[in-house]
């Protein structure tokens, strides 16, 4: 009896974590545009408003393929030049963080995710200094 109870508890936890990951993946799918984008200045540690400086970011998450890779298109406007990268993301089983493989693997924390709002932060993504981004779905 005790073994059955432990098994049912473990199965319930596994199902809940899989459901959360699937919900997060479903919410991520689509094109997201940055409305707020800040980074920490390397020199004085002040917050830089990257949107006000003319920078932009678009993330376009696609459904995972049969190979297990989840493609994402990253479009950045850096100093007026638009750069587009086709890469992939890996969502952790809790649905609370993901890794986006850019020029290097970048750990991205999901602060908030709903069907129309995504807030992420990363100490290493793109600008390399505590990036915080709020995005809205198109």
Start-to-end C-alpha separation, the chain: 51
Give me the pLDDT at residue 61, please.
92
pLDDT tens digits for range 4-61: 333 323 333 333 334 556 667 778 899 999 999 998 887 888 888 989 989 999 999 9
Q: For residue 114, give the 3-state DSSP assignment.
A: coil
pLDDT tens digits for range 73-130: 989 887 778 888 888 887 776 666 777 765 555 678 888 889 999 998 887 665 557 8
CB 70 within 8 A of CB 62: yes
Distances (CA, A) of 55 to 41, 51, 91, 116, 127: 15, 5, 26, 21, 11
Domains of the chain: 2-137 (2.40.128.20)
Residue closest to 12 by CA, chosen among 20, 134, 53: 20
């Amino acid at each position: 009896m005790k073994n059955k109870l432990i098994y049912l508890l473990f199965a319930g936890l596994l199902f809940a974590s899989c459901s959360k990951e699937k919900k997060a993946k479903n919410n991520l799918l689509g094109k997201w545009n940055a409305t707020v984008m800040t980074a920490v200045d390397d020199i004085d540690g002040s917050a830089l408003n990257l949107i006000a400086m003319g920078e932009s970011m678009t993330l376009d998450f696609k459904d995972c393929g049969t190979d297990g890779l989840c493609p994402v298109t990253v479009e950045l406007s850096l100093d007026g030049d638009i750069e587009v990268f086709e890469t992939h993301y890996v969502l952790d089983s809790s649905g609370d963080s993901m890794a986006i493989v850019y020029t290097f693997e970048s750990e991205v924390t999901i602060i908030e995710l709903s069907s129309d709002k995504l807030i992420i932060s990363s100490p290493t993504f793109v600008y390399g200094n505590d990036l915080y981004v709020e995005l809205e779905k198109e």
